[in-house]
Structure 1
Amino acid sequence: MVWLGAPLLLPILFLASDVGAAVDLTLLADLRLTEPQRFFLTCVSGEAGVGRGSDAWGAPLLLEKDDRIVRTPPPWQPPHLARNGSHQVTLRGFSQPSDLVGVFSCVGGAGARRTPVVYVHNSPGAHLHPDKVTHTVNKGDTAVLSARVRKEKQMDVIWKSNGSYFSTLDWHEAQDGRFLLRFPDVQPPSSGIYSATYLEASPLGSAFFRLIVRGCEAGRWGPGCTKECPGCLHGGVCHDQDGECVCPPGFTGTRCEQACREGRFGQSCQEQCPGTSGCRGLTFCLPDPYGCSCGSGWRGSQCQEACAPGHFGADCRLRCQCQNGGTCDRFSGCVCPSGWHGVHCEKSDSGDWADGGVSAPVGALG
């Protein structure tokens, strides 16, 4: 392996955000639509003061592809941007598969709260494919980017960081059909867009990733990382600058303690997934440091696989630990029988505790 040291970060807006977690902004992509002419991206703002009509005030939502890192051939014709007042904007009308590959960003909010949300799209026919596109880790963690081989070539793999050469892996170094890039004791300057490409292969065959490194160690936030995070539940991520929880799609509350009704998202569960399939097939991108994931109850590279029994939440990353006869719902977690409540049904309505745990109740809003 050849290393060139720490990556040179580019001063690009979407690589990091200095705005807190309060901005209600979601970028959606329907991963089931692989044909360029049918594929679209939608950015939705739930910000207070953002109206649903054409006369709404405030800075407009911006949604565009950024070719400064992932460079692809120019489109035959530019995609069409359609607005629904200041609440929603949709980008559609792509003309060729290469138009979809790369980095897209939506920017919303006003003034100092202007915030970017980033989505990275991989070609379904690429030689290499990310096991997970977005990785959010804490300062000091070990981060691992994994590029899965889909079309094997007996060639070395080139890793790039923000478009610049980072390292080389010999093709013999694949582990179980995957090329791994490890970051022990990772630090915030390592945040950015990464790619894995076979030597001399087209960039369109690359696996693209986004690495987000929080500015503090796990459970800490603030200047000097001296403050304790509130304990975000259900996969929520503590913002390292203001200590707020950025909740995964399908959950809400100060600590992400409440589940939205199935098919709902947004900070107040005010938005509804389009179509008749609920949130199946959709990837949701939220402000940093959350990144992107499937909606609650779904997993897989196209977010079309239901959670396995006993699992729930965004990407099905959470495991139910229901007590006292509670049952696991893949969208919301434990559903408690009469007389019990709490994340694990560990609290009695009479005030007695089944164990010494401390959990917040899970409800259903929206």
Structure 2
Amino acid sequence: MLTLDKVFDASNVLKEVIRPTACIHAPKVNPDCDVYLKTENLQVTGSFKVRGAYYKISQLSDEEKSHGVIACSAGNHAQGVALAATKNGIKSIICLPDGAPISKVEATKGYGAEVCLVPGVYDDAYAKAIELRDANGYTFIHPFDDENVIAGQGTIGLEILSQVADADVIVVPVGGGGLISGVAFTVKQLKPSVRVYGVQAEGAPSMVNSLKDGKIECLESVHTIADGIKVKEPGEHTFEYCSKYVDGVVTVSDDEISSAILHLIEKQKLVSEGAGATPVAAVMFNKIPDIKGKKVVCLVSGGNIDVTILSRVIKRGLLKSGRSDTLTIQLEDRPGQLRDVSEIISKLGGNVVSVHHERASEDSDITDCLLRLVLETRNFDHIREIRQALTAAGFKIVNK
């Protein structure tokens, strides 16, 4: 049974392994409220997951340890279990979805675990881990639906209340629900007035749907760039704790997550993975109710984003925030056209980063051509200004 004493015990046990992470002021996230970021992306292993994994393994009996441990993960729990097992001299086997970022797979191996890649998503990795546990007698370390794991994650709630004592709202990513269960349980025991909200990706709203319908539901499929919360079904314990202690769970789109990742890089100099950026996205795009004038803590849960994905995410973030635009202009094929277009864009402060010129399609006049430009812009108002100026000068923009 989860108790506040267990959370305090976990906090004491974890002192030997975790890094205390700061709550930093981030007022530019949303000018209507006072935002702080709990930087678990700077935690040992790059994620909060080491807290629950280490505390769970510390509570195993000698016999359970002797069998070795097995876990399933989208990547971050894997690293936490691998580190905890290695520090305790225990063999560890981790089942990961074969689509997990390469950086997370290699990091898990680097912490001393044997990795088993499983076709599919987290839930497929879970099924494989249970199969191997039953076949070989390993001790299973659940990534979220275990009360010792939840207690370990609850230590973040203790830290937030000590760092931002007058916090009004705490916003937490939700996949299977272990993190928000621990944080919400702890915070509500110590300061019930603090509201706790969860955030899921639109493409993986398992907890949102389950809470809405009052029963645990399993999604047929999940799709999101936030691989750390790409979970089809919440746990029994986590569903119960979320039902009792969480004030609400909202969703954000992949475009909004990308914008939040970009904001964290540019404004806060922090690298976050998709799951870690979801609370920031929810606050940036006003998905959390009644936060105007409130002190809000966003839990940036992890920073283990694959660098090959990061460049694509930044591109999406630029598009979503009006920092980039692609123009396709139909021109008469005569000298000076490109110069005239460039002059208009230059005078308005746009920066051309890519130019593609081609003959027009069979639907247009034989003397026409198409000019495709990629621009760096300040915001959506800047994009509108450039497009209106080009149109006023007689140029025909053929894409919206």
Work out which of the two has the higher radius of gyration on C-alpha atoms and give 1 or 2: 2
Q: TM-score, with normalisation over the residues of structure 1? A: 0.29
Larger relative helix fraction: 2
